[in-house]
Structure 1
């Protein structure tokens, strides 16, 4: 049996995050837990308008593919399947009948989920359609460094300096996070995203996350913890989510487009504009519904909140979307 001292031996942050989030009893795989919705608010949980927008994106992908007999919809980091459930409900019946939905999640399949939704720890090997990853990459474990050395962390959150960086991590920092100080090495996120995109034979791969780009890396990093709707210290003991913002520009492959969620949702018809006041007198019930939808849309597209999230859109064998989006930097 391990002693208390052995249990407190510090390790590099990547290993600590892996154990805290996905190890036995880890935050995301703990049986019977509430899932991400019980601890933090994502766009999926904020409004059904988000699933409706993803449904419209899937329809655009379907058209670009020529309406294949089977249309794949893969949700990476699916939580409890909420987004897939919402998208399927928002699709026209004839399209939904062709969709093959698949949830990628390391936790066990939740009870009561639509039996037509596949479930597994990795994406299917071959996908034709849309692969969508909402707030997945921020939970892919990574290394934390400071002044050219790894940062070690104990289960109680105490940090100590570690050894010098290996060549691959040093090269990543020199290219994507220059300047020294404290940094988060996103190489594991780059590799995870490339592996996910590689499963798409034709279609679109989209990663949505809180993000930053090379020209504006945060000087002290972004490591944070969340539990029960509150931000807490990022203690890797399995009792909270441990997350860090994503260097989406480093993840981007050839032909990828980077844009904000505000821009992406606008292109998909989500607007926070108030309904015309005249509707209140002609159809009060419709006005109230439209006003509520405008409020939800405003939350999804707020430049000070969810609207500032990054969308990395990677086309595979089809034209880029949106056509006038900004190309990702390399």
Structure 2
């Protein structure tokens, strides 16, 4: 029996699936994602406030349904769902049915109003919000060999790699359409087909409303020549090793995920539209109302982090309306 047949060598999709979500996998650890990396949700409560404003816009477009659904995909420990409920106007919060979708177990201290699920509920009327979910949907890695042929990259649990069989079938068609590699030896790509399918399935749970995917992303004009596969452990970027000890992630080809009617924009532009800006308070406030000035200055600093060029502000927002106009129009 060969090493590959015995399971010592696996494609990255299978290896990462087990390392992240299998028994003892990274996302089943008690500290949750916040113990290893900082997302927009953890950076500032302003992010949840912006999502609450977006939910209110969806509520208006839906003519104020009762209940109004909010689905937090890849919910971590429920931080975003908790923050959104706290930021909603009382009348909207009273009608909101909140769901947190996560593979890990429900936190003991989670708000009782939030239903904890392992998969998104069907027949959603409202907002489905997926912050940094798609980057953790495992994908295969392709690399061009010395003959100019894209091959599947195989990996061991210790992170050692070698090339496997040529990429073929629907995966080869995806590469040709969304991430053509050419014939340069060593060029790499993440084959995003599983993410396209996962996003389409999530959108399909909406009867009416809006689905939003937020992630570090690239489009056809900016594909990186050697891919983006990496790992994170305890707040630091590290080599991606599929042994359950670290997060394994790769940027998302959000343009490939988009369904008809979608809009793709930066987090910076989305948050500006939702009234999150880094404008500093007027200086005269420092002498007339100093405590208010300090609070406003702190808020501006948090907004600056969420909208920063070269940082969180460059994240992509894929907005997919279903049966309603896009609540963040051009």
Aligned to 2:72: 75
Cα offset, 1:111, TM superposition: 1.1
Cα offset, 1:179, TM superposition: 2.5
Aligned to 2:226: 220
> Is 2:304 the counterpart of 1:298?
yes
Aligned match of 2:256 in 237, 250, 254? 250
* TM-score (normalised: structure 1): 0.95
Cα offset, 1:8, TM superposition: 7.4
Cα offset, 1:321, TM superposition: 3.0
Q: Provide runs of 4+ in structure 1 moved above 4 Å.
A: 4-8
Aligned match of 1:284 in 290, 311, 321? 290
Aligned to 2:147: none
CA contact (8 A) 1:8 1:155 kept: no
Residues matched between the structures, number: 319
Cα offset, 1:7, TM superposition: 8.4
The 2-side partners of 1:5 and 1:13 are apart by: 13
The 1-side partners of 2:166 and 2:5 are apart by: 23
Aligned match of 2:168 in 163, 166, 181? 166
> Is 2:34 the counterpart of 1:46?
no
Task: Map 1:317-328 onto structure 2 (within 5 A).
Answer: 317-324=323-330
Which stretch of structure 1 is more off in the superposition, 165-174 or 4-13?
4-13
Q: Secondary structure at the match of 1:237?
A: coil
Aligned to 1:179: 181
Consecutive unaligned residues of structure 2, counting only runs of 5 or more, are 145-149
Task: Map 1:206-217 onto structure 2 (within 5 A).
Answer: 206-217=212-223
Aligned match of 2:200 in 190, 194, 197? 194
The 1-side partners of 2:66 and 2:201 are apart by: 25
Aligned to 1:327: none
Cα offset, 1:21, TM superposition: 0.1
Which stretch of structure 1 is more off in the superposition, 116-125 or 168-177?
116-125
Cα offset, 1:5, TM superposition: 11
Cα offset, 1:281, TM superposition: 1.4
Q: Secondary structure at the match of 1:79?
A: coil
Aligned to 1:153: 155
The 2-side partners of 1:268 and 1:149 are apart by: 44
Q: Secondary structure at the match of 1:183?
A: strand
**What do residues 288-325 of structure 1 show as CA deviations (whole Å, max 9, x unaligned)?**
0000000000000001100000000000000013111x
Task: Map 1:1-12 onto structure 2 (within 5 A).
Answer: 9-12=8-11
